[in-house]
Amino acid sequence: MKKLLAAGLLLAASWTVLPTVYGRSYAKRVKKQGPDCPEIALTFDDGPNPVYTPLLLDLLKQYNVKATFFVIGEKAKLYPDLIRRIEKEGHEVGIHNNRHISSWLLSPAALERELVQAASHITAITGNRAELYRPPWGHFNPFTLQKAQPFQTVMWTAIPGDWKKKMTPEKLAQKLRLARSNGAIITLHDSGHTFGAYEKAPAVMLEALRLFLMDQESAAFSFVTVSTLYRSKS
């Protein structure tokens, strides 16, 4: 029985934890940090959201910030005007699966369908191909990198936990300041309608982001899209 249990645990880890550790930390094809230049890529996952995404876009415009949005395909289809506005205002649209579902729960064929469907929604809305991908929760299975090969997979240097119910604007703003560095890729969320997230968390995120962007030290950085970050020279 113990041997069977150990074999089962090893099999589960081989599908979940081990590919995720490899994808996040060791895979050379996965972008995790930009060049050593005074540029930062703010990224926003799980949207678009009809309440918070417009407020976020207003804030980004106010501070002349360009960002990258990893959107859910089904939500993009529901709110195509928001996707068009994101692109029109100079931001970048990547995909985050068609549904917000972990790769740990998907077969290779199901994962491929998620990617194809999400990308097709973006193309149908904007006429352009989505080039970037971030797996939900940053979860990889053994086939994620293979199935995501048509895209550039992007992780992060910092994910400060903006989805948590007990997070405050001041605490989150301080986490953002600590994450501020040359080539940083920072992950935030413009929707709270995912498993484990506080529904109103994006309101806290917006206030924290405002505090962070108005901070004098933030003015020393350019806030750019992921693609722009990687076009920079180190």
Instruction: Verify cis geometry, omega within 30 degrees of 0, for the bond prior to 169.
Output: no
Q: How many CB atoms lie within 10 A of CB 110?
A: 12
100 is catalytic: no
Residue of 162, 189, 193, 215 with catalytic role: 189
189 is catalytic: yes
CA–CA dist 32, 47 (Å, integer): 21
CA–CA dist 59, 56 (Å, integer): 5
Cβ-Cβ contacts under 8 Å for 119 (sequence gap 6 or more): 73, 95, 129, 130, 150, 151
Residue of 45, 46, 162, 190 with catalytic role: 45
* Catalytic site positions: 45, 189
